[in-house]
Amino acid sequence: MKTPAGTECPYFYGDYYRGRSNEECRLIGNAPAPGHWTRDLCAVCPVPRIARANSCEFMTLTARVNHGILGIGKKVVISAYCRKSNSDVKTPEIGCGICHPLGDYINESRQ
């Protein structure tokens, strides 16, 4: 579903049926303030970029909201875990390297 920032996100949900205006991020959830989700976080959230770059079925994302100094400058911090390799993923856009090794794609394109 499209976020208020205009990008597609698998975790954003908006219910606009018959004039409703219920929006939520199902990745951040209903965390208590100050780590709760607000619609302005969609503009700085890296999840839509990660979802476009890597669609691995084994990768699980978790998110939390970090605040800057004096509560100014909120941002979403993502951590990823691969269920197939049972390890943390350092770069979610690329993946763990075990599920989709880069060498296979390079070798197929040369043939």
What mean pLDDT value characterizes the chain? 86
* CA distances in angstroms from 10 to 1, 50, 105, listed in the order given: 6, 11, 26
Whether the predicted pLDDT of 16 surpasses 90: no
pLDDT in tens, 27-44: 998 878 778 888 899 999
Whether the predicted pLDDT of 98 surpasses 90: no
* pTM for this predicted structure: 0.80
Q: Is residue 78 classed exposed, middle or buried when 0-12, 13-18 and 19+ CB atoms within 10 A define those classes?
A: middle
The residue assigned the tokens 């990660």 is 50
